[in-house]
Structure 1
Amino acid sequence: MPISVYSHHELLTLNTKELPIYEDAMAPYFPGVDLQPLYLDPSLGVWVLRVIFHPGVTLPCHYHTGTVHLFTMSGKWNYVEYPDQPQTAGSYLFEPGGSIHTFMTPADNTEPTDTFMVVYGANVNFDAQGNYLGMMDANDIMLAIENLVQARGLEPAKYIRPLPAAYTTK
């Protein structure tokens, strides 16, 4: 049987209990956000992260260019625009592409909010006046983690990343 570039002889698996969590990984832009990258594919624009939000975090209002699957494992959060629909431990939220909202964790949360997200595309971020702040996608997450690892003198981050696109012949 011919071997393809996609052949592998072991599972691509990670144990979140064995990987570092990068504390305050998005500072200074988004303080109080800890990250654990699991799968980053800048070619397809897919990012899979474990994200821990500390009490009192409010992210900028953002527009999703693609869908999001968001699981809440502990804690509590809600969108500012939907205060009567808090997400708590065990909640699963599907967000269609084109969703616009402002993520926040209540300041009176008694624990961090631990989430797992699968994001397709980018977040386009805006300030409170609706002015464009910037975008965040799988490539931005990769660069942020690489810069954080280098700045803090840590071991390189371990996460799953597919092969980059290439020609079949050289």
Structure 2
Amino acid sequence: MAEMTRPAAEAIAYEGEQPLGKLDDLVLHGALDLDCDERLWVPQSDSVVFRPLLLSVSQGYFVNILRVRKTGILSRHRHAGPVHALTLRGRWHYLEHDWWAEQGSYSFEPPGDIHTLEVPDDVDEMVTLFHVTGAYIYVEPDGTPNGVEDVFTKLDSARAHYASNGVGLDYLDSLIR
């Protein structure tokens, strides 16, 4: 790690040019406010919504908060890329693994992993921040694909939702990189 060369009072910002093609930074205040304006949550079903935080169409990943207000099986899927998850409320697990993601837990799911997400009966609400690279490929128990979800399907869902509920597309556009 670089050693500090000046006291904070003498801090000097970088004065050179930024790299050509560098994307703009994104700072989303209140990102973990789980009780935010309900219009920011994009419905996936009657009891499943997501709040996009970053939709990286240039690199093929998305960061969102998933909120599930039902118990039982949510989905069975295969990961085309790595997934990072931080459980914010409740708990969940995969039928194929012996670990549980509980509030405050971080989990990593490698590319190629196939699993079935279950929210147990004693959980009223599961909320997890997911960073998903690539796609979820939804599969039948035998592995036959039956659907896909990626940054572009997330973007399409959010665009339709925000265009119709008053949030507006400017908000969504601010999340795209």
With structure 2 as the length reference, what TM-score do the two structures score?
A: 0.75
The aligned amino acid for 2:106 is: Y
Q: Distance in 1 between matches of 2:139 and 2:26?
A: 36
More helix by share: 2
Q: Is 1:155 the equivalent of 2:167?
A: yes
Paired positions, count: 154
Residue of structure 2 in register with 1:49 after alignment: 64
Residue of structure 2 in register with 1:92 after alignment: 106
Following superposition, the deviation at residue 24 of structure 1 comes to: 6.4
Higher alpha-carbon Rg: 2
Residue of structure 1 in register with 2:140 after alignment: 127
Q: Is 1:144 the equivalent of 2:166?
A: no
Residues 38-64 of structure 1 deviation map (CA, whole Å, 9 limit, x = unaligned): 000123111000111123152231110
Residue of structure 2 in register with 1:117 after alignment: 130
Of 40, 44, 59, 1:26 maps to 44
The aligned amino acid for 1:139 is: F
Percent of aligned pairs sharing the same letter:
26
With structure 1 as the length reference, what TM-score do the two structures score?
A: 0.78
Unaligned 5+ residue runs, structure 2? 1-15
Following superposition, the deviation at residue 147 of structure 1 comes to: 1.6
Residue of structure 1 in register with 2:78 after alignment: 63
**1:61–1:103 CA contact under 8 A, matched in 2:** yes
- Root-mean-square deviation over aligned CA pairs: 2.5
Unaligned 5+ residue runs, structure 1? 163-170
Q: Distance in 2 between matches of 1:132 and 1:99?
A: 14
